[in-house]
Amino acid sequence: MVGDWVEVELTEGVDDGADGRIVSVEERKVWISRRRDVGRARELILAANLDQVACVFAISKPRIKFGALDRLLMAAASSQLPAFLVLNKIDLGIPEEMEERLAIYPRIGIEVLRCSATADEGLDQLKNKLEGKATVLTGPSGVGKSSLISKVLGIQIRTAPVSEHNEKGKHTTTAVTWHPAEAGTAIIDTPGFRDWALWGLDPCELAHWMPDLSGEVDQCRFRDCLHRQEPGCGVLAALSEQRIDPLRYRSYIGILDSVLERQERDR
């Protein structure tokens, strides 16, 4: 896996160090994974031994899906990895209703960096955030992950225009790539996803990985509370007392439904 520490034995007779074989892999300490997009249920590990997760989304082409962002943040939290949002393509202009939705994130401890890879905006801030750390950039295809990395590192990575037809963007990045930089910095580029599906999380623990809901879960009467309509639910109480944003609660319910549905289908 990209990020794994391995012991390599150089192949005999080769003196330029270009050939070798992996003889052992060190125990993987942290990693982030999601459910594979297609086929049988399987874990897809993006990268190992990283320090933080940059969740990259765009203003439009393709427009940010907050459900996917929330699932991604949940995956990072459950892997004990700090995460932040990189909102790219700000040159396209942020609609007012998006600003309102975005305002939730700083309140729950998620930093929002606004960038434009093409208009050179917010790149110094992003650079600072990446310095001295191993960061995986993940997000849907076409949001500008490779473009941002090219700009930050001053290298050329292949990018592709987002197709006008479906605004989905093509998968130009086909492999996970670890780009080392100075001062212990590494930036990991990944292929985009269509939809971030969670892996390995139990329906009962989902709320635990949302920082604004997790503090309320302890108040629930039942240990296996799913916070839908159970009596004595701490999350519902917090919602009615306006301590939880209704949009985040709705997002939680959407995530819960998708996890329950997948669980049913995988059975």
User: Where does this chain touch Mg ion (CB under 5 A) — which range of 12-20, 94-102, 171-179, 245-253?
Assistant: 171-179
- Residue 194 carries which side chain, given as an amino acid letter? R
Among 49, 52, 79, 172, binds ligand GDP (CB under 6 A): 172
Q: Does 62 bind ligand GDP (CB under 6 A)?
A: no
Q: Does 177 bind ligand GDP (CB under 6 A)?
A: no
CA distance 134 to 60: 27
Residue reference for tokens 């939880």: 244
Q: Does 190 bind Mg ion (CB under 5 A)?
A: no
Residue reference for tokens 């039942």: 222
Question: Scanning residues 136 to 165, which ones bind ligand GDP (CB under 6 A)?
Answer: 141-147, 159-162
Cβ(121)–Cβ(91) under 8 Å? yes
Tokens (6 digits) for 216? 């309320």
Q: What is the largest CA-CA distance in the chain?
A: 72
CA distance 100 to 77: 23
User: Where does this chain touch ligand GDP (CB under 6 A) — which range of 45-53, 100-108, 166-174, 222-230?
Assistant: 166-174
Among 33, 173, 185, 251, binds Mg ion (CB under 5 A): 173
Q: Does 214 bind ligand GDP (CB under 6 A)?
A: no
User: Where does this chain touch ligand GDP (CB under 6 A) — which range of 45-53, 98-106, 115-123, 198-206?
Assistant: 115-123
CA distance 246 to 50: 33
In whole angstroms, the minimum distance from the beta carbon of 146 to Mg ion comes to 3
User: Which residue in 85, 123, 128 sits closest to 104, CA to CA?
Assistant: 85
For binding to ligand GDP (CB under 6 A), which residues are involved? 88-89, 91-92, 116-118, 141-147, 159-162, 169, 172-173, 192
